[in-house]
């Protein structure tokens, strides 16, 4: 764990952005570190005012660790719905982690399991209740977008494209389950319908279209959360890393480089940037996975015609190591997919080459197009592929909301609302749902051993799985 002495106390002397930062092995969360060089950062405008680095000791009601989507929405709903003014502590800049590095795809989902898998795992009745909760979460997301219209919303739905013919049976089954069991207006589209009505992705073999999906400028949206939360009395302190939390006589002592913050409740909203050493409650509970993203220069009218982009909807393909992409409001193309296994290898050009090759495969007319922005960021994947918004120990007022598995843009809004309810001690019938009623688990090794230590060695298994997934994804 880092010590107070290991951090500069002057924000002006903070280190620049570290492209090799790896939450699984690093004990230094940074101090006012610059943003990653994303398209979102370049186009969001100046960040809203914050409350500056926290100086000295303090006594507060609630500390929220992490000033991204989840932390800021939690602070917003605590103030708006419960009259509680939270103190948000952020190691670097506001919205520095997942929030400013994602693809901006808001979908009616959370975690990495499909609705048919919900039925297999928990039964139809629980799956129906979980669907109602996720659907309510998407409405929470839409309501916040309506309050931040400058976030460039692109509604219309989600297009899930089969990248191989053999994936169409899977999509047909999911469409049927979503339609017959959950009541969604899903449609199966032929290869020609996708090409003629949506986009000419050269890997397209047909698609599932679902009506719920909104693309956003994630950083503009998060900046809106920040402004609204502070207007209601929340305090947001960047350049204030949490070095550890100790509970003494029921009071949480949150250690920062400049002093100790004593709080009645602490909530962690650190997503893919959750360090192993920040709290025992989250040690080895999240597997951070790197995702690469790029944004091209503005497409010309001829290039738009050649790719036949007729939609600005959010799009993903059916690979396990999926590609996600969309045409942005300014007619740039954004696309993302998997990246390096470790932070130390993140700058290796071969990882970005995989993404560029995927872009060229899907859209040969864009081969050689200038890439104006490229970056990578950590995704928080739980070991059972579903998020948790929970209080892991009912004897302690310590909470967390993590594990979105790449679907945090939309669900983080509702996770913040539910996390605020839990912090405020409000009872709710939804608390017995799988994403609320249990703590995150350690990974199982060979079905029996709980692998709590040696977290970096899990990367060996990840490397093996990536090789297997790639072989399966690309098989004809």
Alpha carbons within 13 angstroms on the beta-carbon side of residue 6 total 11
Integer Cα distance of 386 and 199 in angstroms: 31
Task: Report helix, strand or coil for 164.
Answer: coil
Q: Which candidate, 392, 105, 430, places its Cα nearest to that of 268?
A: 392
- Domain of 359, in residue numbers: 153-214+289-375
Tell me if 360 is assigned to some domain.
yes
Task: Give CA–CA dist 387/435, Å, rounded.
Answer: 6
139 lies in a domain? no
Report the number of distinct structural domains present in the chain. Answer: 1
173 within some domain: yes
Q: Could you tell me the pTM of the whole model?
A: 0.94
Task: Give the other-Cβ count within 10 Å of 249's Cβ.
Answer: 5
What are the pLDDT digits (tens) for 141-199?
A: 999 999 999 999 999 999 999 999 999 999 999 999 999 999 999 999 999 999 999 99
**pLDDT 10s digit of each residue in the chain, 476 long?**
333 333 433 434 447 999 999 999 998 899 999 999 999 999 999 999 999 999 999 999 999 999 999 999 999 999 999 999 999 999 999 999 999 999 999 999 999 999 999 999 999 999 999 999 999 999 999 999 999 999 999 999 999 999 999 999 999 999 999 999 999 999 999 999 999 999 999 999 999 999 999 999 999 999 999 999 999 999 999 999 999 999 999 999 999 999 999 999 999 999 999 998 999 999 989 999 999 999 999 999 999 999 999 999 999 999 999 999 999 999 999 999 999 999 999 999 999 999 999 999 999 999 999 999 999 999 999 999 999 999 999 999 999 999 999 999 999 999 999 999 999 999 999 999 999 999 998 765 433 334 445 556 778 888 888 999 889 989 87
Could you tell me where the DSSP H helices lie in 8-123? 39-43, 69-82, 115-122
Residue 397 lies in a domain: no
The pair of structure tokens assigned to 27 is 């004990």
Cα–Cα distance between 380 and 406 in angstroms, integer?
7
d(CA 381, CA 383): 7
In this structure, is residue 189 part of a structural domain? yes
* CB 171 within 8 Å of CB 158: no
Whether 339 maps to a domain, the answer reads yes
Q: How far apart are CA 276 and CA 84, in angstroms?
A: 29
Pairing of strands 259-268, 58-65: parallel
* Sign, CA torsion 419/425/430/432: positive
Q: Is residue 358 part of a domain?
A: yes
What number of CA atoms fall less than 13 Å from residue 155's CA on the CB side? 9
- Give the span between the Cα atoms of 174 and 188, in whole angstroms: 10
SS3 1: coil
Q: If you count them, how many residues does the chain have? A: 476
With contact defined as beta carbons under 8 Å apart, do 281 and 439 qualify? yes
CATH of the domain at 365: 3.30.9.10
Q: What is the DSSP letter of 31?
A: S
| 177 occurs within a structural domain | yes
């Amino acid at each position: 764990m880092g010590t107070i002495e290991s951090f500069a106390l002057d924000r002006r002397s903070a280190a620049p952005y570290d492209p090799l930062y790896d939450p699984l092995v690093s004990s230094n969360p940074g101090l006012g570190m610059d943003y990653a060089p994303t398209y979102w950062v370049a186009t969001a405008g100046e960040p809203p005012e914050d409350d500056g680095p926290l100086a000295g000791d303090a006594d507060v009601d609630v500390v929220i660790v992490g000033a991204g989507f989840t932390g800021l929405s939690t602070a917003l709903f605590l103030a708006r719905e419960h009259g509680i003014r939270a103190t948000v502590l952020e190691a670097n800049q506001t919205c520095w982690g997942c929030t400013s590095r994602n693809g901006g795809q808001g979908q009616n989902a959370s975690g990495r399991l499909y609705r048919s898998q919900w039925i297999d795992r928990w039964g139809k009745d629980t799956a129906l209740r979980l669907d109602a909760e996720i659907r309510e979460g998407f409405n929470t997301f839409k309501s916040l977008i309506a309050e931040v219209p400058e976030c460039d919303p692109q509604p219309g739905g989600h297009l899930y494209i089969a990248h191989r013919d053999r994936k169409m049976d899977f999509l047909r089954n999911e469409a049927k389950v979503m339609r017959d069991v959950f009541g969604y207006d899903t449609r199966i589209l032929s290869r020609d319908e996708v090409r003629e009505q949506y986009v000419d992705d050269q890997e397209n073999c047909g698609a599932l279209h679902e009506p719920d999906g909104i693309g956003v400028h994630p950083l503009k949206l998060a900046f809106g959360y920040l402004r609204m939360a502070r207007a209601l009395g929340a305090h947001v302190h960047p350049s204030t890393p949490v070095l550890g939390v100790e509970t003494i006589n029921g009071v949480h002592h949150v250690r920062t480089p400049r002093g100790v913050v004593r709080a009645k409740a602490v909530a962690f909203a650190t997503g893919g940037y959750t360090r192993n050493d920040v709290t025992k409650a989250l040690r080895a509970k999240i597997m951070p996975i790197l995702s690469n993203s790029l944004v091209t220069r503005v497409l010309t009218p001829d290039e738009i015609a050649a790719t036949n982009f007729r939609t600005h909807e959010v799009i993903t393909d059916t690979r396990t190591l999926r590609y996600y992409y969309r045409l942005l409001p300014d007619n740039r193309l954004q696309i993302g997919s998997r990246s390096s296994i470790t932070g130390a290898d993140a700058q290796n050009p071969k990882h970005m080459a995989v993404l560029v090759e995927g872009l060229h495969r899907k859209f040969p007319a864009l081969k050689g197009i200038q890439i104006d922005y490229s970056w990578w960021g950590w995704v928080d994947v739980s070991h059972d592929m579903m998020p948790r918004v929970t209080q892991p120990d009912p004897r302690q007022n310590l909470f967390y909301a993590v594990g979105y598995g790449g679907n945090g843009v939309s669900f983080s809004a509702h996770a913040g609302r539910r996390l605020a309810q839990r912090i405020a001690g409000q009872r709710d019938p939804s608390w017995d749902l799988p994403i609320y009623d249990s703590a995150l688990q350690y990974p199982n090794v060979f079905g029996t051993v709980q692998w709590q230590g040696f977290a970096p060695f899990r990367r060996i298994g990840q490397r093996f799985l990536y090789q297997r997934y790639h072989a399966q994804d690309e098989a004809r």
